[in-house]
């Protein structure tokens, strides 16, 4: 009955998801088609190895210990926040710390009722089901999930209309971990069924330096402390980006230099990759430039921005904007997006408030 084979759902293997973003040639491919095999090979498996999100780690340690002592499965959990901050990674850490299997899927892959039913029926007691992009779950799948989450049962309907009967089928007690970049788009009944909701935060430069150092060690790349910091500074507060950059910089170091990454080599390589001191790439700068030069600094709607940049609205909203907002370069207003005075300065323009008019 399971539509997605167990093999594809094991943690550490390739996720099998239907991700419409992958099919869209306009999407920032480096974020969407990021090498999952590489990502999985460097994923931390324990709290000790997992850098950052210290508040979350401390809370989880207590929750996990309590569940182990009670001999009960963990409460359902929802992790939300921008992409690349480690929502899947922390779910994997939870599974290995509990000593249970995790099955990973994504809401767009649960299109038909039998997709979600199959996966729920394949779970064993205590196992974790991870659903990425859970805000994209369709209504039918959501309604199948409610009794599964609440009473560990599936309501199956047999027969038609007046003779229809609902049968309650018990399923093993499992833990659902949902992840989303858009918590606000989750329906209230689904949101309410999670026992814990947690927002993942952007990482500090210090934390990202540690991520870079850890990955460099695993990949046997030589890097100095200053080199790690230079990469960390341009990683937009995001470990996934830090890990991508260390690989790209190391390619430069091997081809152009003697292989050891120091601050100078890191900065030179990132300049060549067109990643600036704030970690902004060509698309981020194009977005700010567009608003400044075509829309007088804003406000302008996100659909207009996406169309002008030939990007997908979701990519703009979920990938570009969170960091631009967090870095204070962009502002969100009820009438649309505006570039902040810092955003103007970052691109070498004078903010309108500092421009002198003749009359």
Examine residue 17 and say whether the peptide bond preceding it is cis (omega within 30 degrees of 0): no
Q: Is 181 a catalytic residue?
A: yes
Q: How many CB atoms lie within 10 A of CB 2?
A: 17
Would you give the end-to-end CA distance of the chain in angstroms?
Answer: 75
Q: Is 75 a catalytic residue?
A: no
DSSP label at residue 85: S
Q: Is 86 in the site for ligand ADE (CB under 6 A)?
A: yes
> Cβ distance 244 to 212 under 8 Å?
no
Q: Is 282 a catalytic residue?
A: no
Residue 131-160 contact track with ligand ADE, rule CB under 6 A, x = bound: ------------------------------
- Return the range that interacts with ligand ADE (CB under 6 A); candidates 47-55, 131-139, 221-229, 256-264: 47-55
Which residues 49-78 are close enough to bind ligand ADE by CB under 6 A? 49-52
Q: Is beta strand 330-333 parallel, antiparallel or unpaired with respect to 336-339?
A: antiparallel
For 91-114, letters b (16+ CB in 10 Å) and e give bbbbbbbbebbbbbbbbbbbeeee
Token output for 300: 């302008």
Q: How far apart are CA 275 and CA 235, in angstroms?
A: 9
Query: Catalytic one among 89, 181, 215, 315?
Result: 181
Which residues 234-263 are close enough to bind ligand ADE by CB under 6 A? 239, 243
Q: Is 92 in the site for ligand ADE (CB under 6 A)?
A: no
Binding residue for ligand ADE, selected from 149, 211, 288, 330, defined by CB under 6 A? 211
Binding residue for ligand ADE, selected from 44, 82, 83, 92, defined by CB under 6 A? 44
Q: Is 214 in the site for ligand ADE (CB under 6 A)?
A: yes
- Return the range that interacts with ligand ADE (CB under 6 A); candidates 24-32, 44-52, 229-237, 269-277: 44-52
Query: Catalytic one among 240, 314, 337, 338?
Result: 240
> Cβ distance 167 to 155 under 8 Å?
yes
Catalytic residues: 87-88, 132, 181, 240
Binding site for ligand ADE (CB under 6 A): 42, 44, 49-52, 86, 89, 211, 214, 239, 243
């Amino acid at each position: 009955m399971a539509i997605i084979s167990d093999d594809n759902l094991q943690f550490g293997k390739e996720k099998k998801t239907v991700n419409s973003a992958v099919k869209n040639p306009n999407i920032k491919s480096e974020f969407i088609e990021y090498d999952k095999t590489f990502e999985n090979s460097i994923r931390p498996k324990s709290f000790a190895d997992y850098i950052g999100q210290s508040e979350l780690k401390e809370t989880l340690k207590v929750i996990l210990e309590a569940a182990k002592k009670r001999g009960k499965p963990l409460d359902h959990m929802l992790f939300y926040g921008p992409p690349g901050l480690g929502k899947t990674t922390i779910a994997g850490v939870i599974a290995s710390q509990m000593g249970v299997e995790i099955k990973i899927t994504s809401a767009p892959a649960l299109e038909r009722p039998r997709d979600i039913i199959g996966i729920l029926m394949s779970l064993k007691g205590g196992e974790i089901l991870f659903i990425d992009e859970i805000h994209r779950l369709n209504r039918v799948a959501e309604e199948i999930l409610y009794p599964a989450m609440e009473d560990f049962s599936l309501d199956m309907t047999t027969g038609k209309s007046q003779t229809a009967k609902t049968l309650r089928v018990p399923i093993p007690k499992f833990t659902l971990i949902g992840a989303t970049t858009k918590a606000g788009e989750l329906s209230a009944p689904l949101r309410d069924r999670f026992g814990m909701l947690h927002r993942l935060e952007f990482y500090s430069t210090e934390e990202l330096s540690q991520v870079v150092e850890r990955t460099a060690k695993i990949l046997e790349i030589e890097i100095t402390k200053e080199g790690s910091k230079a990469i960390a500074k341009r990683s937009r507060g995001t470990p996934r980006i830090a890990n991508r950059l260390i690989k790209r910089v190391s390619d430069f170091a091997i081809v152009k230099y003697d292989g050891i990454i120091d601050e100078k080599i890191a900065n030179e390589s990132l300049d060549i990759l067109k990643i600036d001191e704030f970690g902004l790439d060509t698309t981020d700068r194009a977005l700010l430039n567009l608003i400044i030069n075509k829309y007088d600094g804003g406000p302008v709607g996100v659909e207009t921005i996406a169309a002008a940049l030939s990007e997908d609205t979701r990519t703009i909203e979920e990938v570009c904007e969170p960091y631009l907002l967090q870095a204070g370069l962009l502002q969100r207003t009820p009438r649309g997006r505006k570039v902040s005075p810092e955003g103007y300065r970052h691109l070498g323009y004078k903010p309108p408030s500092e421009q002198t008019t003749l009359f």
